[in-house]
Amino acid sequence: MATEPVVHVIDDDEGARTSLAFLLDCADLQTRTYASAVEFLAAVPTMAHGCIITDVRMPEISGIELLGKLQALGVTDPVIVITGHADVPMAIQAMHAGVSDFIEKPFSDDAILSAVRTALAKHQSRHELESERDEIARRLATLSGREREVMEGLIDGKANKVIAFDLDISARTVEVYRANVMTKTGARTLSELVRMVMITRLA
């Protein structure tokens, strides 16, 4: 399927690259391989989303340098860093750069597969949250100005009478607007409405 995640493997060592791709393929994970960070960056504009596995020590652009470039490009796919030359400072630098995992060679098949599945699950959860946020934002955009004012009062925990006083309208009118808000947003309860609004306010 077009929406199936892809694991992007970046390593200048052809043997390591091929071996890792074979392992992922056997685990029914779609893969794409790249011989360098430069080659991968050229493919970023059209790449399928999923997760990225990159070696640290590569010619031209290192794995750590690649992390910075991906952040600058707005790429949010989880990144797993692998290296045969791991040390504490490098691990700390990679973690500060936001990597999903840091794995030292030689690693077991289970270790890399577990890291990949965890990264893909995190990405899927984030994707689903973003989709839900977009849908809620679309619904909220259908509210009139007055309906939004009433909604703000509701999520602040104010009673209908208090909202009516604040907006200088009748309590009955507040009830009408409240019903409109619930209908347009699809919220079945006030707590669900609060949750929906909070989701749209997540960073």
Both structure tokens of 188: 């079945």
Residue 59 banded pLDDT, cuts 50, 70, 90: confident
Report the DSSP beta bridge partners of residue 79. Answer: 52
**How far is residue 52's CA from residue 84's CA, in Å, rounded to a whole number?**
17
Q: What is the pLDDT of residue 190?
A: 83
DSSP of 52-72: EEEESS-SSS-HHHHHHHHHH
| Most confident option among 38-52, 129-143, 166-180 | 166-180
Stretch(es) of the chain classified as CATH 1.10.10.10: 142-200
Q: Does 9 have pLDDT greater than 50? A: yes
pLDDT in tens, 86-100: 555 666 666 666 777
Decide which of 52 and 132 is more confident.
Answer: 52
Instruction: Please report which residue ranges of the chain form alpha helices under DSSP H.
Output: 14-26, 37-43, 63-73, 88-96, 109-140, 145-155, 160-167, 171-185, 190-200
Residue 134 banded pLDDT, cuts 50, 70, 90: confident
113-129: average pLDDT: 79
Stretch(es) of the chain classified as CATH 3.40.50.2300: 6-127
Q: Please state the φ and ψ torsions of residue 91, each to the nearest 5 degrees.
A: -65, -45
The class (CATH top level) of 142-200 is: mainly alpha
Decide which of 141 and 123 is more confident.
Answer: 141
Topology (CATH) of 6-127? Rossmann fold (3.40.50)
